[in-house]
Amino acid sequence: MSLAPRDDALRKRLRTKYARLGLPCGICEQAIDYTVAYPDPMSAQVDHIIPIDKGGADAAENCQPAHRSCNRAKWNTTPTDYAEPIEAPRVFVTDRVW
């Protein structure tokens, strides 16, 4: 676990920028629905391309948009650790309103 402080303002700015531009997931390369809210697995997150734990910077140049599920699957790996894009899992809402 990283003990380095994270820049929350940077992440907010990047989330807003990614949503405005409609950028796809940098991991699975599929479209992101930026209206889906956390904690949905398909919600948007800011992913560090090179994890902070592995020496990556907490800077815009080291960030990309990602689905929450893709970001969790990638976890603490670098781009050289995975060659193929990670396929986003299919998620079905099973909650019912009676």
| pTM, entire model | 0.74
Considering only residues 20 and 83, tell me which one the structure prediction assigns the higher pLDDT. 20
pLDDT of residue 83: 58
Per-residue pLDDT tens over the stretch 31-87: 999 999 998 999 999 999 999 988 999 899 999 999 999 999 888 888 777 656 556
* Long-range contacts of the stretch 71-77 (C-beta < 8 A, 24+): 71/27, 71/45, 71/47, 72/41, 73/27, 74/27, 74/47, 76/51, 77/51
pLDDT of residue 81: 76
pLDDT of residue 76: 87
Domain boundaries, the chain: 26-93
